[in-house]
Structure formats: C-alpha cells, structure tokens
Amino acid sequence: MKGLIVAAGQGTRLREQGESKPLIRIHGVPLIEQVIDRARRAGIDEFLVVSGYRGEALRAALDAFAAREGVRITHVVNEHWDRANGVSVLQAKPLIDGPFVLTMCDHLVDPSILRDLVATSPEPDTVTLAVDFHVDRPLNDIDDVTRVKCANGRIERIGKVIRDFNAIDTGVFLCTPVMFEALAASQAEGDDSISGAMTVLARWGKARTFDIGERVWVDVDDPTAFRKAEDLLAAGRL
C-alpha cells in the first residue's frame, strides 16, 4: 500500500530546532525518517512525499535516505505550500488510483495504529480517520488539536473550534480516491484543508472512524510537543 506524507509547510513553531521541520532531528533521527520508519513497520512499502517550503533540501535528504535504506519514495511538489494542507494532498491525485494511507510529516504514532488501520480494509468510497477518544486526558494540547464528533463509527463534525466533540483527530487516514473528490468539493466551497474535505465526506456519509484505544501519538509542532516525543521515544512508547 502507498503512504502519502504531507511535508510542505513551514513549521514556524519549531524554527528554533531547525529551518526544515521534516529534517529536524528527534531522538537523533530526522522527523520524517521517524514517520517513514513507523509506516514501514506497519507494512507500507511505497511513499509519496509532498514537499514545498525548503523543498529542495528535503528532497535531497530523502533521496539519500531512500538509497541508503532501499525505500521507494516519489516526490510530489506543492508550489502553493502557503495554502492549507488539503492543497498538498490534491497534488498527489495523478499518482494514486487505489487505497492509501495519509499522514503528516510531524505526527508520530505507535506503529500498531497504522498496522491495524490498514488491516481494516476501507469500505469503497470512504475515508477512515484514526481518532483518539481520550479528550479528558489528552497527550496533545487540547486547545490546538482538531476535534471530532463521532457516532456509531462515523464522523458527524470535525474542526478546530467545534465545542461538542468526543474525539481527537490523530492526522492518520486510510483513504480511497474519494478523498480527492472531497478535497475538490471543499476547495470549491472555499476551504483548502483536509478537515474541510472530511466535513464534506461526513456530509456525504462517507467519513468513518478508527479508535486507537490506549495507544499514543504526538503532533510534534511546538517545543513542548517536541520534548514529549523525545521522552516517549526514549521510553520505547513510540
């Protein structure tokens, strides 16, 4: 199965760690290599990486990594990296014609989450989001996460500011190509984000959820999250 990794943004909140967020070393290894390593352990064997900001340096580093580790990596370039993340995903449409896993370059997850998500086999024309129901004791900053309202294995609402929610978006998705249709529809409505596409899919009745249970994940997007991820990696929990 293919894995699509979004790595086009600036990552300004981690600028003190390095100019290119995907290449920041965490526990001694570039962040994007940590993400790819976990995906490979889950059985994903081919990667498409969307680059944008400082993309040339990232692509060179990934080429060296691919040669060293024998990983298949295809570059996708997003010239409009200053727009929301859904624009990056849509750039990969010509290269994907079947199910794929979508994740972010700064989200570290327990590899078993990816493995079990892939094993569910997606329903035709649906997208499944891995969600964390621990909203009362989140590892991640509850004021910064994307919130999800779920019911009966389906997404009803999703967004940063919704008040009625019972789960958190982990940034890991099992997609079918309907994701691209939803992205295009969301952009036509003025929302370039992945969450906008998931809102469209929820409206279409095609947005599903996967409960990660007690397993951990971290969105490494600021110094506090960076330190949490380093501690989890050192403890062997990621």
Mean pLDDT of 52-56: 94
Tell whether the model's pLDDT for residue 57 goes beyond 90: yes
Q: Given this model, what pLDDT does residue 19 score?
A: 81
Task: Please give the sequence-ordered ranges of beta strands (E in DSSP) within the chain, or none if there are none.
Answer: 2-7, 25-26, 29-30, 46-51, 72-77, 100-104, 107-109, 127-132, 147-151, 154-159, 167-175, 207-211, 217-219
Distance CA 178, CA 68 (A): 34
Closest by CA to 14, choosing from 220, 229, 231, is 220
Give, for 54, the enclosing helix (H) or strand (E).
none
CA 184 from chain center: how many Å?
19
Mean pLDDT of 159-181: 97
Structural domains present in the chain: 2-234 (3.90.550.10)
> Does residue 90 contact residue 4 with C-beta atoms inside 8 Å?
no
- At residue 124's C-alpha, the angle toward residues 44 and 110, to 5°, is 30
- At residue 217's C-alpha, the angle toward residues 215 and 220, to 5°, is 170
Distance CA 231, CA 12 (A): 22
With both helix axes pointing from N to C terminus, report the angle between 31-41 and 55-69 in degrees, rounded to the nearest 10.
Answer: 40
- Fill in the amino acid letter for 97: D
Q: What confidence tens digit (pLDDT) does each residue in 67-123 have?
A: 999 999 999 999 999 999 999 999 999 999 999 999 999 999 999 999 999 999 889
Distance CA 162, CA 67 (A): 44
